[in-house]
Amino acid sequence: MIYIKITISDITMSAAQEKLVIGTQQGRVLTLTLNRPQALNALNTALLIELSGQLQAADTNEDIGAVVITGNQKAFAAGADVKEMATMNAIDLHRDPRVQAWADIARFSKPIIAAVNGFCLGGGCELAMCADYIIAGHKAVFGQPEVKLGIMPGAGGTQRLMRLVGPAKAKQMVLTGATINAKEALQAGLVAETTAAEAVLEKAQSQAKQIARYAPIAVAAIKDCCNKSLDLELQQGLSYERRSYCVVSSSEDRNEGIDAFLNKRKPEYQNR
């Protein structure tokens, strides 16, 4: 008989290594790191379910004010998992659990910053676009190459890209499958800011920390109104904003923010 000695720390380490999304909380900022480096963080069903589960938990956790989603230096995510997709038949696609996971990710009510290095392709680019904005390293590469595989973007690639970069660039990208670099992505309006690869995560976390210090009710309403502007006509959007403004103005945190300003002190928000 062969005995293998396994210590508790071995078990803890291997459990952490197997986690497809590693969540770490610093202050009020939750960083979610996609963790399938051997597959360039390809978004398989298990990873997407884990990601959406962690976001759902964060949505109701009052100790979390903002989220950063990141990958590694080689890849944010190289798309949906093509190997997994190859095994899916029409019935699998009909009851595809990824659809609900994507909807949950897009519905998250708190700010998300995507900190992107390396490949950000297909579903990876769609995930980054579900964030409120993207900070990219100088060597990041963006694209929607689905057309090259005989498929098409399935998680908002045709819709969000059109809104972010406009029809000319979006159609060029989705129809040719060509990639763009970080500089082009910045010029096109796909990313908010570019920086050195090593500085991306820290910059995103620092901005998330700043946002997480503000009154959560105001922050959530701002995100909600910005997103609504994509669905509504201007006049409808303006009245939606007006109503949201009134709701935010009736919060205790609004009184706290204004009082703190007038009395030259730091506000202490209570999420009320």
CA distance 264 to 115: 34
From 92-100, 130-138, 163-171, 232-240, span contacting ligand DAK (CB under 6 A): 92-100
Q: Of these, 21, 30, 32, 40, which contacts ligand DAK (CB under 6 A)?
A: 40
Residue 87 to residues 100, 155, 158, 178, Cα–Cα distance (Å): 19, 19, 24, 26
Neighbours of 210 (CB within 10 A): 12
For residue 30, state whether it binds ligand DAK (rule: CB under 6 A).
no
Please report which residue ranges of 45-176 form alpha helices under DSSP H.
Answer: 45-59, 82-86, 90-94, 97-107, 123-130, 157-176
For residue 80, state whether it binds ligand DAK (rule: CB under 6 A).
yes
Helix axes 157-176, 123-130, angle to 10 degrees: 140
> Could you tell me the smallest distance in angstroms from the CB atom of residue 108 to ligand DAK?
16
For residue 121, state whether it binds ligand DAK (rule: CB under 6 A).
yes
Backbone angles phi, psi at 247, to 5 degrees: -65, -45
Residue 126 among the catalytic residues? yes
Q: Of these, 50, 81, 132, 253, which contacts ligand DAK (CB under 6 A)?
A: 81
Neighbours of 89 (CB within 10 A): 7
- Pick the closer one to ligand DAK by CB: 108 or 119: 119
Q: Of these, 11, 14, 83, 258, which contacts ligand DAK (CB under 6 A)?
A: 83
Helix axes 45-59, 97-107, angle to 10 degrees: 30
CA distance 125 to 190: 10
Catalytic annotation, pick one of 65, 71, 79, 123? 123
Residue 123 among the catalytic residues? yes
Taking residues 161 to 190 in sequence order and writing x for each that binds ligand DAK by CB under 6 A, - otherwise, the string is: ------------------------------
Q: Of these, 29, 33, 76, 146, which contacts ligand DAK (CB under 6 A)?
A: 146
For residue 46, state whether it binds ligand DAK (rule: CB under 6 A).
no
> Quick one: which of 71, 84, 202, 199 has its CA closest to 141?
71
For residue 120, state whether it binds ligand DAK (rule: CB under 6 A).
no
Please write down the long-range contacts of 158-163, taking CB distance under 8 Å and 24 or more positions apart.
160/126, 160/129, 160/130, 161/125, 161/129, 161/190, 163/230
From 25-33, 37-45, 52-60, 189-197, span contacting ligand DAK (CB under 6 A): 37-45
Q: Tell which positions 96-115 bind ligand DAK, by CB under 6 A.
A: 96, 98-99, 102
- Which positions lie near ligand DAK, rule CB under 6 A? 39-40, 42, 78-83, 96, 98-99, 102, 119, 121-123, 145-146, 149, 154-155
